[in-house]
Amino acid sequence: MRVARVVVDVPLAHLDRPFDYAVPDELAEQVVAGCRVRVRFAGKLVDGVVLELAGSTDHTGKLAPLAKVVSAEPVLTPEVAEVARSVADRYAGSMTDVLRLALPPRRGAPEKRPRLDPPPPPQAPDPAGFARYPTGPQLLAAVAEGHPARAVWTALPGEDWPTRLAELAQAALSGGRGALVVVPDGKDLDRLAAAAERLLPAGSVAVLRADSTPDTRYGRFLSAARGTAQVVLGTRGAVFAPVRDLGLVVIWDDGDDLHAEPRAPYPHARDVLVHRAHLASCAAVVAGTARTAEAALLVESGWAHELVADRATLRAAAPRVEALGSDFELARDPAARSARLPTLGFTAARKALQAGAPVLIQVPRSGYVPSLVCDRCRAPARCAHCAGPLGIAPAPGPNGVRIAACRWCARPAATFDCPHCHGTKLRAAVVGASRTAEELGRAFPGAAVRVSGRGSVLATVSGDPAIVVATPGAEPVAEGGYGAALLLDSWALLGRADLRAGEETLRRWMNAAALVRAGGQVVVSADAGHPVVQALVRWDPAGLAARELADRRELGFPPVTRMASLSASPAALADFLDALRLPGGADVLGPVPEPPRPGQDGERERYLVRVRRSDGVALARALHDVQGVRSAKKVAEHVRVQLDPLELA
């Protein structure tokens, strides 16, 4: 008797295990490991994926037969199955949840297309692109030879990083192995795909993107699963791509919050790729202009080595960075500390425009006036109906007047009464990109002003003189680089009550400043004595990351520890914690009220559970066990469990 071990698509924690089914004779030729099937479970027909085929079973009763083979296409490879199980265990989730992230919905048309042989391997890449980094050529050689080299690469300002990443993939291909490269968003993916098209053989690359049509995405997924495309490029959903003979994993800009999966069990792309590199014993590169504390821990632990340029090379490539709060600037312009864009910023922008180069203006928020506060006590202004934040939209109303309205329910706030001081007037807490563009258009009447942000993200701009106002992550690439960059409203980034405020601020600043040509000028509107500003002025992301890591070690925060966030109603959390058996030395912090969310009813609280990093697996197992008991008892309310959340504030 042939037995199929099936992962059944049932979202219940206590059923997080494979189930054995008998393979009927009429389906024997169609059933293969990794194929999709339909099985009868608890009286209903449900979907499932065959993990493996066996000749016997430990089940003592009679096995139910497979009801149907949905597709004989093996979409779940043994390597991806192992990764999925491991990720579920690490994040206190179920394998079913992970497989929903890993396997795209089936489409019939792509499966009917003929299988194609992979193209022949290319030649090894030219190491000249990595020559500015002392150990860069050695990294390329190690990847080409199939060694499990691991590196944390800090790219130089102005680096053509898409080409460098494509060269790493080319090195893996030249050695007969596959590569997986993950970037934060579609704009970065377009640049990477263009570089790969130039360097890699036709047909060897599959680009997995969230905005593709279902047929296109599934067809590209199949090209990787069948071994035709040996290089997969994509956003965070591609971390589970079935790359044959995986030899290299790469993540670009791992600090971007787009790499954090918002669906259960909430894995982070960096952690998944690092784990895949460990399981597959392949090369791994964590790359970016800046550096996270997690990447610093990889270097400190010896798991990865630094790939950085020497200071002389860095000085030749970097723009000149100056802070508005420096003693020299304050002596020359006493208003520099309080002005949003004082003399130094205007001068830098004017010189760049006169030299025929574009100017980049980075503002932390999109919109017109996205956040309002009470004019008297500065308390955040909230909607009287749903308690959502009030703001002013870029588009004026029917009568041509912009009015305050709720950003959640869109109700206009015709009147305002502060619940704290009963003030009736509003003022802007932060100015958005649209309002900034309007102000700069008046300040530089002869220059074209373009806005890149939510709703309209520009990929590139010409090298002609213009002012480009962009939000973080939406900065377009300028031909030849920008002549200057102005980083405004720094207090909105540095002043956030968030564990990663400093790290995230530097990442956003450096990503923008790296687009400025060598010898250009970057002006940051911040106190020159702030550690984050000093790291930007010195162009020292590794130093700030090491400092962040040391601070978190002293305070007991991730990544030095593992931390779980538990969110639910107070009653559900009390029941959950009563049943939770934590490892020794665990700290339970809380409860604190959860901020209200759109459409959320009832009071909710949050606890944080902190353990030593070595106890992370035990914590995840304990959380999963409690979830299993609650699901078996059919407890109505679900407790949201998230391991190592990005936001702890």
User: β-pairing, 404-406 with 426-430?
Assistant: unpaired
What percentage of the chain has pLDDT greater than the value 90? 72
Q: Which tokens is 600 given?
A: 């959320």
Q: Please name each of the domains of the chain with its CATH number.
A: 1-74 (3.40.1440), 127-312 (3.40.50.300), 319-367+432-538 (3.40.50), 561-643 (3.30.70)
Residue-wise pLDDT tens digits, 342-376: 678 889 999 999 999 999 999 887 544 556 778 88
* Mean pLDDT across 534-549: 96
Residue 379 has pLDDT above 90, yes or no: no
Beta bridge partners of 468: 360, 450
CA distances from 75 to 13, 56, 177, 240 (A): 24, 24, 19, 11
Element (H, E) at 206: strand 205-208
Whether the upstream peptide bond of residue 265 has omega within 30° of 0, thus cis, is yes
Per-residue pLDDT tens over the stretch 180-199: 999 999 999 999 999 999 99
Give CA–CA dist 424/447, Å, rounded: 38
Report whether the peptide linkage leading into residue 396 is cis, meaning its omega lies within 30 degrees of zero: no
Q: What is the mean pLDDT of residues 570-589?
A: 94
pLDDT at site 368: 46
> What is residue 561's predicted lDDT score, i.e. its pLDDT?
96
Matching residue, tokens 């520009």: 458
| Amino acid code (one letter) for 612 | R
Percent of the chain with pLDDT over 70: 92
| Distance from the Cα of residue 452 to its chain's centroid | 20
What is the residue whose two structure tokens read 């790291």?
535
The Cα 300–Cα 549 span in angstroms is 10
Task: Encode 166-194 in three state secondary structure.
Answer: HHHHHHHHHCCCEEEEECCCHHHHHHHHH
pLDDT in tens, 469-481: 998 899 999 999 9
Residue 397 parent element (H or E): none
Of 408 and 533, the one with more pLDDT: 533
Which residues 6+ apart lie within 8 Å of 52 measured at CB? 4, 5, 33, 78
Q: How far apart are CA 469 and CA 485, in angstroms?
A: 10
Mean pLDDT for the chain overall: 90
What is the pTM assigned to this prediction? 0.88
* Residue 326 pLDDT greater than 80, yes or no: no
Q: Name the nearest CA neighbour of 157 among 452, 477, 459.
A: 477
User: Per-residue DSSP letters for 50-74?
Assistant: EEEEES--S--SPPPBP-EEEE---
Q: Kindly tell me if the per-residue pLDDT of 336 is higher than 60.
A: no
Give, as one character, the DSSP assignment of residue 639.
P
Segment 68-113, tens digit of pLDDT: 999 999 999 999 999 999 999 999 999 999 999 999 999 999 999 9
Q: Are 161 and 154 in contact (CB under 8 A)?
A: no
- Cα-flanking dihedrals φ and ψ of residue 60, to 5°? -85, -25
Distances (CA, A) of 447 to 28, 249, 435, 452: 71, 43, 16, 16
Closest CA to 624 of 95, 226, 225, 219: 95
Q: Is the pLDDT of residue 400 over 80?
A: no
Say yes or no to pLDDT of 579 above 60: yes
Alpha-carbon Rg for the chain, nearest whole angstrom, is: 27
With a CB cutoff of 8 Å and minimum separation 6, the contacts of 621 are: 89, 92
Q: Phi and psi for 27 in degrees, rounded to 5?
A: -110, 0
